Chains A and B, each alone.
Chain A
Amino acid sequence: MPSLAQTMAVTPRVFATEKQNAKIVPSQIIVDNELGAAQRIITIQDVFTTAASIVAATGVAVAAALQTVNRLIITVDNAGWATIAAEALKNLEILGQLQVIINVADAGTIVTISWGFK
């Protein structure tokens, strides 16, 4: 299973691009804010492009569109940690690209994510 650690010196940070025939299922998320300059808010995002479709109720055609969905938001105190393990993440599924944003870019905040595919 892949795993990647990145500082949040820039935002967003891409952890995994879309695997077209599978969903990405994070198995562990660690946010290390020991060296962060302040309390930080981390958001796990799912970025994908929908296929063209039709609204069943109205018959209106809908074009393909880029979507960004927030799947998880974590607030981590200054000098603190947050660890979310597999049990708590078992229903978190990423349809497209797995990326992380932070409310303020901070090189002292480190995010580590492990994931598998489903």
Chain B
Amino acid sequence: MIEFLPSPKATVSPGQPRLLQKGFFVKFTNEWPDTLPYVKGKFFQIARTNQVNHDLSYILPSGNYRDVDFSNQVGGVNLYPENTKSLFEVALGFKKDNYQVQFYIPAGEFVNRLEQAGMVPNVASATLKYLGAFKPEDSPYEDKRILLYFLKDLEPLIARTFVDTGCDFAKVVFGLTINKCYLEEMKTPTADQLARARTVLYYSEMRW
């Protein structure tokens, strides 16, 4: 449900589209919870798509952070679908400034952490503030490399946005392309279709 696409080592021709397209296949693992029965363990073909661009911006003081909640709950920025047949694939990029982003889902649970005890992101720690952090150069506004997958009633994904020391204020700009995908379930996909499908992992599968 969160994917980071590093710079390619080689290019292929013809190019592969980064975002899901009409006709593409998507499968959800059995790790998706029972509270999301409309996708858990299911296989879909994308019937149609629609791309919606959006920007979010915040000016924050140095040494401070703001939690940006992508969900539709109170205080969120309302980027989650309301339809159980919608999958929102969100490409996220950042304009340059002196800040970084760490992801949590749900609130308080880090997406990116290491295995040694205590090796978790912590913006209050001089040694851990860069752990698990994405900086603007990792996913530039013009070349978005972070992909997020949102479904109706998924737990809130939080982007902890921290302005590092060394400046007075920073302007945080998130560039978003919301690729709205309308899902049609396929009960009996072929082996070829299964092999070609993009697998959307539940966040618990990214933490072990």
Please give, as numbers and ranges, the residues of chain B lying within 8 Å of A95 by CB-CB distance.
59, 169-171
Contact present for B57 and A53 (CB under 8 Å): no
Q: In the complex the two chains form, is B169's CB within 8 Å of A56's CB? A: no
Q: Please, which residues of chain B bring their CB within 8 A of the CB of A52?
A: 66
The answer to whether A56 touches B65 (Cβ under 8 A) is yes
Q: How far is the CA of A45 from the CA of B127 in the complex (A)?
A: 35
Are A50 and B124 within 8 A (Cβ)? no
- Give chain B's interface secondary structure class: strand
From 55 to 102 in chain A, residues with beta carbon under 8 angstroms from any chain B beta carbon are: 55-57, 59, 62, 67, 69, 95-96
In the complex, A35 has a CB within 8 A of chain B: no
B64 touches A69 (CB 8 A): no
Contact (Cβ within 8 A) A21 B123? no
**CA separation between A96 and B169, bound complex, in Å?**
11
CA distance A110 to B58 in the complex (A): 33
Partner of A53, one of B66, B96, B124, B171: B66
Given contacts A53-B66, A55-B64, A57-B124, contact A22 B59 (CB under 8 A): no
Which residue from chain A places its CB closest to the CB of B60 in the assembled complex? A53
**A20 close to B57 (CB less than 8 A):** yes
Contacts of A10 on B, CB cut-off 8 Å? none
State whether A21 touches B173 (Cβ < 8 A): yes
Cβ-defined contact, B173 with A51, below 8 A: no
**B168 on interface, CB distance cutoff 8 Å:** yes
**Is B57 a contact of A69 with CB atoms below 8 Å?**
no
> Is B124 a contact of A51 with CB atoms below 8 Å?
no
**Is A49 in the interface zone, CB < 8 Å from B?**
yes
Listed from nearest, the 9 A-B pairs whose CB atoms lie closest are A53-B64, A51-B58, A21-B55, A56-B123, A95-B171, A53-B66, A56-B124, A53-B60, A50-B59
A interface with B by C-beta (< 8 Å): 20-23, 48-57, 59, 62, 67, 69, 95-96, 118
